[in-house]
Structure 1
Amino acid sequence: MPTDRIIRFADFELDVERYQLRRSGVDVRLERLPMDLLILLASRRGELLTRADIVDRLWAGSPFRDTDNGLNTAIRKIRIALADDPAAPRHLITVKGKGYRFDGILPAPLEAHDAATFAAHDAPAASEAGQAQRAVRMLVLPFANLTGDASQESLCSALADEISVTLGALNPERLLTIARTTAGRYRATQKSIGEIARELKLDYVLEGSLARAGAQTRILTRLIRCADEVQIWSRAHESATQGALDMLKEAVAALAEDLASTLSEQQRTRLARRLPVDPAAHDAYVRGRFFWYRRVHFEAGFSAHHGIDGEDFVRSRTYFEAALERDPSYALGYTGLSNYYGSTVVHGFIAPDDGWPVARALAESALELDPDLPEAHHALAAVRYFYDWDWGHAEAGFQEALRRNPSYPEAHRLYARLLVAAGRRAEGDAAMERAERIDPLAFQGSRAFGLVMSGRHADVVNEYLAPGHMDHPPLVYQLLATAFEVKKLYAQAVEATVEALERCNQHARATTIRVQWEAGGYDAVLRWYLEDLLARRHSRYTSPLLIAEAYARLAQPDEMFHWLETALAERSSRLCELRTNPWFAPWRPTGRMRLIEKHIGGDATR
Structure 2
Amino acid sequence: MPATLLEFDEFSLDCDRYELLRSGRPVRLEKIPMELLILLVTKDGRLVTRQEIIEHVWGKEVFVDTEHGINTAIRKIRNVLRDDPGQPRFVQTVSRKGYRFVAPINVIPQEGGNGNHGATDLLPPNTLQTQTDLLVPISLPQSHHRVSGLLRKAAMVLVGAIGVAAILVGLNVRGLRQRLFAHTPRQGGPQIRSLAVLPIENLSGDLSQDFLADGMTEELITELGKSSALRVISRTSVMQYRGTKKPVQEIAHELNVDAVLEGTALRSGNHLRITANLVQSSPETHLWAETYDSENGDILSVQQRVADSVAREIRVALSPRDTTTLGDGRSVNPEAQDQYFRGLYALRSAGGGSTQTAVDYLQRAIKKDPNFARAYGVLAMAYAVWYPGDRGPRENMPRAREAALKAVALDNSLAAGHMALAYIDLNYDWNFAEAERESKRALELDPNLAIAHNFYARELVISGRTDEALAQVRRALELQPYAGLDYPAWVFYLAHRYNDALELAQKMVAIDPNFSWGRWALAANYEQLGKEKEAAEEYLQFEILSGSSPQRIKRLREGLARSSAKGFWQASLEDYLRTAKSSYVPPVLVAGVYMRLGDTGCYSSGLDDSCELLHLSLAPFNLHKARVRRASGFLLTAFSNATPHFPGTI
TM over 0.5: yes
Take 1:591 and 1:525, find their aligned partners in 2: how far apart are those partners?
A: 19
Q: For residues 365 and 315 of structure 1, what CA distance do their matches in structure 2 show?
A: 21
- Aligned residue type for 1:515: E
Distance 1:396 1:207 in 2: 35
Cα gap change, 1:114 to 1:488, in 2 (>3 Å):
farther
Q: What do residues 312-349 of structure 1 show as CA deviations (whole Å, max 9, x unaligned)?
A: 322322332232233222111112221122112x7684
| SS of corresponding position for 1:371 | coil
Check whether the contact 2:355–2:382 (CA below 8 A) recurs between aligned residues.
Answer: yes
Q: Give the equivalent residue in structure 1 for 2:464.
A: 423
Structure 2: how far apart are the matches of 1:275 and 1:436? 36
Aligned to 1:353: 394
Q: Distance in 2 between matches of 1:490 and 1:595?
A: 21
1:532 matched residue in structure 2: 575
> Unaligned regions of 5+ residues in structure 1, if any?
1-43, 64-112, 120-134, 296-308, 602-606
Q: Give the whole-Å Cα distance in 2 for the aligned partners of 1:249 and 1:46.
A: 33
Which residue of the partner structure matches residue 138 of structure 1? 195
Question: 1:553 pairs with 590, 596, 604, which one?
Answer: 596
Aligned residue number for residue 596 of structure 1: 636
- Write the letter of the residue equivalent to 1:166: E
Note the alpha carbon deviations across 1:408-463, whole angstroms, 9 max, x for none.
12211111111111111222223223223323454132332222222333543456
Q: Tell me what 1:477 maps to.
A: 519
The change in CA–CA distance for 1:362 and 1:175 in structure 2 (over 3 A counts) is: same
Write the distance in 2 (CA, Å) between the matches of 1:350 and 1:151: 28
* 1:205 CA displacement: 0.5
Report if aligned partners of 2:277, 2:289 keep a CA contact under 8 Å in 1: yes
C-alpha distance in 1 between matches for 2:438 and 2:250: 37
Q: Answer 1 or 2: which has greater helix percent.
A: 1
1:370 to 390, 394, 411: 411
Cα deviation digits, residues 349-406 of structure 1 (max 9, x gap)? 4333212111111111111111111111111111111111010110000100110011
Aligned residue number for residue 336 of structure 1 = 378
3-state SS of the aligned residue for 1:597? coil
Task: Give the Cα–Cα distance (whole angstroms) in 2 for the partners of residues 529 and 427 of structure 1.
Answer: 36
- Contact 1:421–1:579 at 8 Å: present in 2 too? no
Residues 186 and 283 (structure 1 numbering): CA distance in 2 closer, same or farther, change over 3 Å? farther
Q: Which of the residues 331, 334, 340 maps onto 1:285?
A: 340
Tell whether the 8 Å contact from 1:157 to 1:283 is kept in structure 2 after alignment.
Answer: no
Local SS of the residue matching 1:512: helix
Task: Return the letter of the residue paired with 1:136.
Answer: R
Aligned equivalents of 1:379, 1:560: Cα separation in 2? 33
- Between stretches 136-145 and 490-499, larger displacement belongs to 136-145
Gaps (5+ residues) in structure 2?
1-22, 28-75, 87-184, 642-650
Q: Is the 8 A contact 1:433 1:446 kept in 2?
A: no
1:167 aligns with one of 190, 203, 224: 224
Is the CA contact 1:248–1:275 (under 8 Å) kept in the aligned structure 2? no
Q: In the superposition, relative to structure 1, how do residues 512 and 452 fare at CA in structure 2: closer, same or farther (>3 Å)? A: same
Please tell me the residue identity of whatever aligns with 2:245: Q
**TM-superposed deviation, 1:222:** 2.8
1:452 to 2:493 alignment: yes
Deviations 1:67-113 (A, max 9, x none): xxxxxxxxxxxxxxxxxxxxxxxxxxxxxxxxxxxxxxxxxxxxxx9
Q: 1:163 to 1:507 in 2, by over 3 A?
A: closer
Question: What secondary structure sits across from 2:584 in the alignment?
Answer: coil
Q: Is the 8 A contact 2:325 2:411 kept in 1?
A: no
Counterpart AA for 1:499: Q
Correspondence for 1:436 among 465, 473, 477? 477
Instruction: Compare 383-392 and 462-471 and name the one that shifted more.
Output: 462-471
Question: Kindly tell me: are residues 409 and 370 of structure 1, through their superposed partners in 2, closer, same or farther at Cα, counting changes over 3 Å?
Answer: same
| Aligned residue runs from structure 1 range 574-585, under 5 A | 578=618, 581-583=621-623
1:148 and 1:470 map into 2 onto residues whose CA distance is 29
The question of whether the paired residues in 2 share the 8 Å contact of 1:410 and 1:435 is answered with yes
1:464-543 matched pairs, under 5 angstroms: 464-465=505-506, 469=510, 471-472=512-513, 473-506=515-548, 508=550, 509-543=552-586
CA distance in 2, matches of 1:555, 1:212: 59
Contact kept, 8 Å, 2:293 with 2:302, in 1: the verdict is: no
Q: Which amino acid aligns with 2:258?
A: D
Counterpart Cα distance in 2 of 1:560 and 1:401: 40
Within 5 Å, give how 1:104-183 maps onto structure 2.
Answer: 115-116=187-188, 136-144=193-201, 160-170=217-227, 172=228, 174-183=229-238
Alignment of 1:66-85 (within 5 A): none
Structure 2: how far apart are the matches of 1:241 and 1:544? 49
Kindly indicate whether the alpha-carbon contact (under 8 Å) linking 2:195 and 2:257 is maintained by their aligned counterparts in 1: yes
Cα 1:332–1:220 change in 2 (3 A) is: closer
Alpha-carbon distance in 2 for matches of 1:152, 1:536: 38
Partner of 1:66: none
SS, match of residue 494 in structure 1: helix
Residue of structure 2 aligned with 1:191, choices 246, 263, 270: 246
Cα distance in 1 for residues equivalent to 2:250 and 2:526: 34
| Residue deviations 1:219-244 (CA, integer Å, cap 9, x gap) | 54332122343213344567899866
On the 8 A contact 2:265/2:275 being kept in 1, the answer is yes
- The corresponding residue for 1:90 is none
Residue by residue over 1:284-337, the C-alpha shift from the partner in whole angstroms, topping out at 9 and shown as x without a partner, is 434433443443xxxxxxxxxxxxx64232232233223223322211111222
Give the direction of change, closer, same or farther, for the CA distance of 1:155–1:552 in structure 2 (3 Å limit).
closer
Distance 1:496 1:256, change over 3 A: same
Query: Structure 1 length as normaliser, TM-score?
Result: 0.64
Deviation by residue 1:157-211 (Cα, 9 ceiling, x = unmatched) = 66654443333222x2x31112334444434433332332233222200123467
TM-score normalized with structure 2 length: 0.60
The 2-side partners of 1:352 and 1:585 are apart by 30
1:150-299 equivalent positions in 2, closer than 5 A: 160-170=217-227, 172=228, 174-209=229-264, 220-235=275-290, 247-260=302-315, 277-295=332-350
SS in structure 1 at match of 2:261: strand
Contact 1:158/1:279 (8 A) holds in 2: no
Partner of 1:320: 362
Asked whether the equivalents of residues 270 and 372 of structure 1 are also in contact (C-alpha less than 8 Å), the reply is: no
Question: Are the equivalent residues in 1 in contact too, given 2:555–2:571 (CA < 8 A)?
Answer: no
1:294/1:530 CA distance change after superposition, 3 Å:
same
User: What displacement does 1:478 show?
Assistant: 1.0
Shift of residue 142, structure 1, vs aligned partner: 4.0
Select between 348-357 and 416-425 the one with higher mean Cα deviation. 348-357
